[in-house]
Amino acid sequence: MEKHELVIIGAGPAGMSAAIYGKRAGLDVLVLERGVPGGQINNTDEVENYPAVSHASGSELAEMFKSHALKFGTEIRRVDSSKVELRNDKKIIITKTGSETSELEAEAVIVATGAHFRRLGCEGEAEHIGQGVSFCAVCDGAFFEDYEIAVVGGGNTAVEEANYLTKFASKVYIIHRRDEFRADRSAISQALANPKIEPVYNSVVEKIEGKGMVENIVIRNVKTNETSELPVAGVFMFVGQEPDDECVRGLVDAEKGGWIITNDRMETSVEGIFAAGDVRSKYLRQVITAASDGAVAAMAASAYINEQVHLRATLLEPDFVAALFYSSIDPVQVRLADNVEKFAKAHGANIPVIDGYKNARMTEKMGLAEKLPALVTFRKGTLEKVNPITGDADIAGALA
């Protein structure tokens, strides 16, 4: 089976940043991507809030990320889908490309699959996707030259994309269910100052109509419950996002909606699986936060991989080994660990000293978390005996 130290699923800003940091840390890195490297920023017309890049199109910034990752020798592989499984504590990634299915093994996995825009779910939406209903202003805006169109939503994406769409459309209605937009003040000010934009507050889209292409939408005022018709040629949906978590759904802990839960090291609930970028539960989903997540995840994965390789060589590969497990946050245990190292040196013995606090998941998995400090013996990779250590006098006895 093909093996890699680090497999990154997703080639957006989080995945590319993880690849850059992973390669610079000396890891063997493989990136799996089902679309175009760069992720959602390929669908953004302008990026003006990424530090040191005062202005660039989304596709230009995506190319910068990709080129930077390739500079360090990152392998980016196109696949249709990826699925992560655990087999005897091994992380296996099953990929499909066309009719071909392959399996990879990784020491660590970073899930950087991002998110996608949510559908509205109203009558006529599904039937008109690609025929006037769109989720990408950059992709489809030019098709609506001199037409009146509607944008649904009230956040940053909706308001900013509505402003962009005025480059093509003769009029842009922004339909929002509340009485004010939720976007940044600057974005709102710019949109409201645009003579082509007309807000439609306290309203929701009930139905999208048209024979073939979109011709009309039915909207309902949520305060009066009155319905009205709005003739438009297109409807752009920006009503929130959903995580692309399919590759680890049900495997790692997630909050309502599927957003993956991590700690500040981007570790998920499964040892050796990390998550970065828009797919994880977080306050802000922007290019800069995705890139930051990717860097943290890669360095945490590098530390994990190095620890795993070291621990495997130290504890599981020898025919027999006795190792001291202790907690580095307990001063008494730290002094005991120092004494064990001195004892080993004085007697010419090999007694690895393992920090159970730093390697908490492995310690818990072995059932040692509540037994530290302890001298633990392994025979041919299998835990054989746990000897509690309370003081220096126990060391010699445990080794006897």
SS (H, E, C) the chain: CEEEEEEEECCCHHHHHHHHHHHHCCCCEEEEECCCCCHHHHHCCCECCECCECCECHHHHHHHHHHHHHHCCCEEEECCEEEEEEECCEEEEEEEECCEEEEEEEEEEEECCCEEECCCCCECCHHHECCCEECCHHHHHHHHCCCEEEEECCCHHHHHHHHHHCCCCCEEEEECCCCCCCCCHHHHHHHHCCCCEEEECCEEEEEEECCCCCCEEEEEECCCCCEEEECCCEEEECCCEEECCHHHCCCCCECCCCCECCCCCCECCCCCEEECHHHECCCCCCHHHHHHHHHHHHHHHHHHHHHHHHHHHHHHCCCEEEEEEECCCCHHHHHHHHHHHHHHHHCCCCCCEEECCCCHHHHHHCCCCCCCCEEEEEECCEEEEEEECCCCHHHHHHHC
pLDDT band at 400 (very low <50, low <70, confident <90, very high): low
pLDDT band at 102 (very low <50, low <70, confident <90, very high): very high
Check 140, 244, 278, 293 and give the catalytic one: 140
Q: What is the pLDDT of residue 399?
A: 63
Q: What is the pLDDT of residue 310?
A: 83
Q: Which residue has the higher pLDDT, 87 or 342?
A: 87
pLDDT band at 57 (very low <50, low <70, confident <90, very high): confident
Instruction: Please say if 244 is a catalytic residue.
Output: no
Instruction: Please say if 122 is a catalytic residue.
Output: no
Check 136, 184, 330, 394 and give the catalytic one: 136
Q: What is the pLDDT of residue 210?
A: 95
Please check the confidence at residue 395 and state whether its pLDDT lies above 80.
Answer: no
Check 139, 179, 253, 338 and give the catalytic one: 139
CB atoms within 10 A of CB 153: 25
Which residues have a Cβ under 8 Å from the Cβ of 283 and sit 6 or more positions away?
A: none
CA-closest candidate to residue 371, choices 344, 398, 400:
398
Which of 83-87, 285-289, 361-365 has the lowest average pLDDT?
Answer: 361-365
Q: What is the pLDDT of residue 398?
A: 64
* Spatial contact of 209 and 122, defined as CB atoms under 8 Å apart: no
Tens digit of each residue's pLDDT (9 = 90 or more) over 177-213: 999 999 999 999 999 999 999 999 999 999 999 999 9
What the block records as the tokens of 201 is 């507050």
Which residues have a Cβ under 8 Å from the Cβ of 186 and sit 6 or more positions away?
A: none
Q: What is the pLDDT of residue 285?
A: 86
Mean pLDDT score across all residues of the chain: 92
Tens digit of each residue's pLDDT (9 = 90 or more) over 58-93: 889 999 999 999 999 999 999 999 999 999 889 999
What the chain holds in terms of domains, given with CATH numbers, is 2-115+241-311 (3.50.50.60), 126-237 (3.50.50.60), 318-399 (3.40.30.10)
Mean pLDDT of the region 136-152: 91
Q: Which residue has the higher pLDDT, 246 or 341?
A: 246
Tens digit of each residue's pLDDT (9 = 90 or more) over 377-393: 999 889 999 988 877 67
Tens digit of each residue's pLDDT (9 = 90 or more) over 8-55: 999 999 999 999 999 999 999 999 999 889 988 887 777 878 899 888
Cα 108 from Cα 356, distance rounded (Å) = 20
Q: What is the 3-state secondary structure (H, E, C) of 134-148?
A: ECCHHHHHHHHCCCE
Among residues of the chain, what percentage have pLDDT more than 90?
71
Please check the confidence at residue 366 and state whether its pLDDT lies above 90.
Answer: no
Instruction: Please say if 247 is a catalytic residue.
Output: no
Cα 10 from Cα 148, distance rounded (Å) = 36
